[in-house]
Amino acid sequence: MKTSVARRYARALIEIASETGEVGAYGKEVRTVYAAFESAPELYKTLMNPMFPVEDRLGLTEKVSASLKLSKPVERFLGILVKTRGLRLLADIAEAYSRLEDDISGKIRVTVLSPVDMDAAALDEIKKKISAATGKEAAVSCSKDASLIGGMVVKVGNTILDGSLKTQIERMKEKILEGAI
């Protein structure tokens, strides 16, 4: 529910951005605003607090927009979120916008998790394989997670391909507990 509402907000914004050809710029601005609110949670809470008059909160939004040098459409979008109490969905909106942005640009985000650094050849191979499978350009990013023990985890959009030893041990545990082993 929450995600679908966020997706609708993101779709509305990206349609406006598509008309002006500023899909990437708006996406960047939305992510910047969210990063600003993350770094200033009191500000974020104040803007979401209905105890404060809407006019005051809208005034504050204008100040934030001016400070972050946001475009007018994004500034108006923030104003709408304040009025409709949709500001609490900003993280989900930013995420949904990025996906829509990737869809439009023909890209797919791929995150690879590994307990040790992945070598470039392996990452390249992953990129090729996913690009071939999806027909989109895979944008591969890599992160380290020591808890995985061994192997790797590949996240493609909402799909997670878990080949870590940690997960294999967990699966084995479950099988033992189920009596399958």
> In sequence order, which residues have a C-beta less than 8 Å from that of residue 111 and are 6 or more positions away?
140, 141, 142, 143, 154, 155
CB 3 within 8 A of CB 96: yes
Nearer to another protein, 54 or 132 (CB): 132
- Site mask for another protein (CB under 8 A), range 113-142, x = bound: -xxx-xx--x--xx--xx--xx--------
Q: Tell me the sheet residues that pair with 108.
A: 138
Interface region with another protein, contact rule CB under 8 A, candidates 10-18, 71-79, 92-100, 156-164: 156-164
User: H-type helices in the chain, by residue range?
Assistant: 2-20, 23-39, 41-48, 54-68, 72-83, 90-105, 120-134, 165-178
CA 34/CA 92 separation, integer angstroms? 10
Nearest approach, Cβ of 143 to another protein (angstroms)? 14
H or E element at residue 144: strand 137-144
CB 112 within 8 A of CB 152: yes
For position 150 contacting another protein by CB under 8 A, the verdict is: yes
Interface region with another protein, contact rule CB under 8 A, candidates 8-16, 32-40, 73-81, 154-162: 154-162
For position 165 contacting another protein by CB under 8 A, the verdict is: yes
Rounded (10°) CA dihedral 34, 161, 107, 89 = -20
CA 89/CA 140 separation, integer angstroms? 26
In this chain, which of 8, 11, 76, 166 binds another protein, going by CB under 8 A?
Answer: 166
In this chain, which of 104, 107, 151, 167 binds another protein, going by CB under 8 A?
Answer: 151
In this chain, which of 156, 158, 160, 180 binds another protein, going by CB under 8 A?
Answer: 156
For position 17 contacting another protein by CB under 8 A, the verdict is: no
For position 104 contacting another protein by CB under 8 A, the verdict is: no
Name the site residues for another protein (rule: CB under 8 A). Answer: 114-116, 118-119, 122, 125-126, 129-130, 133-134, 149-152, 154, 156, 159, 161, 163, 165-166, 169-170, 172-173, 176-177, 179
